[in-house]
Amino acid sequence: MTFGLCAIVSVLAACPAVPPGEGPWDDGVGGAGAGSGSVGSGGFHACATATHEAEFVPVNMYFLLDKSGSMQSGQKWLIAREAVQSFFASPSSAGLGIALRFFPDGECGDACDVNACASPNVPLGELTQLSAPNDAQEEALLAAFAGVSPGGVTPMSAALAGAYQWAENVVAKRPDEKTIVLLVTDGKPEACNTDPEAITDAGSDAFTEHGIVTYAIGMQGAELSFLMDLASKSGSDTPIDVTLGADNLVQALADVRKRAFACEYQLPVDVDGQPLDPSLVNVLHTQGGKTDPLTVEQVPNVNACHSQVGGWYYDDPVHPTRILLCSSTCEDVQSDDGAKIDILLGCKTVIA
């Protein structure tokens, strides 16, 4: 995969913490990490027995693309189509699982058929480093646009309800992977259920009950207050506003890709055949252009993340499978193309 940041898992054996001054990267102090929520990485003994590249948590995306009649104005459909196709074809999207659903389209329109909206125009498949036609999923996604043109109203409630139904089924089948919904729209809820609160509450339920995050991109004409509520309730915090320049959609899609991939890492199942001990895991953040890593402190859960300090936490503190970065630490990493994340196993966890 190509994501603009490199994550390496360093597998350590029998690695007790040692006093400051004896660690291989020791800076002698527990200094601040430039707003990343890090402390100096001193105190770790040089006991690595192997290193290998970490795997990001696989991401499955239900891509909801609005093709209502309003998308005809201002060349929005042409811009959206070219931006989305560029997103699919980008080498940076390799490894991303995508299912595509246009709306309104067929029964996923005035009929308000949630089951139809849960059935993608292009089923889920993983993009590769190859280009279409050698990448079968990319070829299918690009071909799906043939003959498609804007028309109709915006059945937002049915489209999102279908997306969540699809996403919940994927989560049930692939619980160790990350499943998200991406909505690109230029409108507001029309037809079907037009109650904004009911729609955003559905997004909230999908997030709190199944961990499904909804990302929203608003093109010109979108009701940003609705998208703001949807994003804040469903885990992505804020929508991406391209209402003043649809040509910014390419960057907006790249931002979603980066946000979806960069802040969750898989834990190895074992260390040299032995079960992993969650209390012997540490996360190091090396900033671009620097060689000395800084230790990111662990916090109990997402609610303990501090906007100024940051940190990391487990998806499940009892039976963890993923490491997640707090939002402020995540932003530091995402904004630095040269950043590197190392996950060290075997040393006593540094806790905030």
48 with 69, same domain: the answer is no
CA distance 206 to 236: 12
Q: Which residue's entry shows tokens 């929508």?
A: 239
pLDDT by residue (tens digit) across 67-88?
A: 999 999 888 999 999 999 999 9
pLDDT at residue 197 tops 90: yes
Based on the domain organization, do 93 and 127 belong to the same domain?
Answer: yes
Q: For 278-292, what is the mean pLDDT? A: 86
- Domain presence at residue 170: yes
Start-to-end C-alpha separation, the chain: 32
- Nearest-angstrom CA–CA distance, 283 and 329: 11
- Model confidence at 92, pLDDT cuts 50, 70, 90, reads confident
Domain identity same for 102 and 245: yes
350 assigned to some structural domain: no
Does residue 22 surpass a pLDDT of 50?
Answer: no
**In terms of domains, do 279 and 321 share one?**
yes
Q: What is the dihedral of CA 196, 99, 65, 55, to 10 degrees?
A: 80
> Is residue 33's pLDDT more than 50?
no
Buried b (16+ CB within 10 A) or exposed e, 231-260: bebbbbeebbbbeeebebbbebbbebbbbb
Compute the average pLDDT of residues 304-318: 85
Whether residue 205 is contained in a domain is answered as: yes
Mark whether 159 and 295 lie in a shared domain. no
Nearest to 205 by CA among 161, 238, 245: 161
Residue 221 in any domain: the answer is yes
Contact 167, 133 (CB under 8 A): no
Residue range of the domain that includes 126: 59-261
pLDDT greater than 70 at residue 47: no
Average pLDDT rounded to a whole number, residues 2-8: 42
- Asked if 100 and 36 sit in the same domain, the reply is no
* Banded model confidence at residue 246, pLDDT cuts 50, 70, 90: low
Which alpha helices (DSSP H) does 57-173 contain, by range?
76-89, 114-117, 136-143, 156-173
Number of helices followed by number of strands (H, E) in the chain? 8, 17
Alpha-carbon span 137 to 147, nearest angstrom: 19
Contacts of 132 (CB under 8 A, 6+ apart): 89, 138, 139, 142
Same domain? For 73 and 36 the reply is no
21 belongs to a structural domain: yes
Give me the CATH number covering residue 195. 3.40.50.410
Report d(CA 338, CA 290) in Å as an integer: 9
**Of 244, 261, 278, which closes a domain?**
261
Which residues 6+ apart lie within 8 Å of 50 measured at CB? Answer: 10, 11
Are 222 and 203 in contact, with CB atoms under 8 Å apart?
A: no
Tell me how far apart the alpha carbons of residues 65 and 314 are, in angstroms, rounded to a whole number: 33
Select from 211, 236, 261 the last residue of a domain. Answer: 261
Please state which of the ranges 138-152, 179-193, 218-232, 268-282 shows the lowest mean pLDDT. Answer: 268-282
Picking from 207, 229, 261, the residue at the C-terminal end of a domain is 261
Structure confidence at residue 352 (pLDDT): 86
| Domain tally, the chain | 2
Using the predicted structure, report yes or no on whether residue 20 has a pLDDT greater than 60.
Answer: no
- The per-residue pLDDT for 21 is 34
Q: Tens of pLDDT along 153-171?
A: 999 999 999 999 999 999 9
Q: Does 288 share its domain with 307?
A: yes
pLDDT higher than 80, residue 16:
no
Asked if residue 70 lies in contact with residue 64, where contact means CB atoms within 8 angstroms, the answer is: no
Residue 1 covered by a domain: no
**Whether residue 161 sits in one domain with residue 128:** yes
- Length of the chain equals 352
Separation of alpha carbons 334 and 254, rounded Å: 12
Cis (ω within 30 of 0) for the bond into 133? yes
Dist CA 130 CA 230 (whole Å): 35
Residue 177 lies in a domain: yes
Q: Is the pTM of this model over 0.85?
A: no
Spatial separation of the C-alpha atoms in residues 120 and 118, rounded to whole Å = 6
236/211 same-domain check: yes
Query: Nearest-CA neighbor of 325 among 268, 279, 263, 281?
Result: 263
Listed in sequence order, the residues at least 6 apart from 178 whose beta carbon sits closer than 8 Å to its beta carbon are 57, 58, 59, 60, 211, 213, 260, 264
| In a shared domain, residues 125 and 173 | yes
Q: Domain check: are 148 and 230 in the same one?
A: yes
**Residue 114 maps to a domain:** yes
